[in-house]
Amino acid sequence: MNFFNDDDPFENVVREFLGGKARRENSFTSGEEEERHIDLIENSEYVYIIFDLPGYNEEDIDINIRGDIIDIHVSSKNISGIQEYLHHKLKEGISLSKKLPKFINPKGYKKSFKNGILELKFMKNG
């Protein structure tokens, strides 16, 4: 017998409260949720793509560029010393996939990470 309504937005909260596991959702965020994590800044020479990744460390980040698509997956590999309520969120992680602008060179980017902010610096083409 199932007491949970899969269309109810509070279903995962109730499942977790009663000791069950939350229903798994699509691992790629989209729309408004994704936009909260990404900024794009450019000047005459470079394009900076900034990812907001609070709670994660540099070793938690996997970056993969295939052609003009960038995939970022972040999940905490070490959750010791983290508050219990954050374990699930940090371990599940964030996955983002974006098409890179045509005016940047996807090869040879530079990466920096500090205070939960990942910055990728790309040269502009031409």
pLDDT per position as a tens digit, 18-36: 655 544 443 333 444 555 5
| pLDDT on residue 18 | 64
| pLDDT on residue 29 | 38
DSSP secondary-structure letter at 80? T
Give pTM, 2 decimals. 0.66
- Cα separation of 50 and 16, whole Å? 32
Q: Maximum Cα–Cα distance for the chain, whole Å? A: 63
pLDDT band at 108 (very low <50, low <70, confident <90, very high): confident
| pLDDT on residue 64 | 96
Give 29-123's CATH code, choosing from 2.60.40.790, 2.70.98.10, 1.10.10.10, 3.90.1310.10. Answer: 2.60.40.790
Cα separations (Å) of 53 from 44, 90, 94, 114?
A: 27, 10, 8, 10
In the chain, domain spans: 29-123
| pLDDT on residue 50 | 93
Q: Are 112 and 58 in contact (CB under 8 A)?
A: no
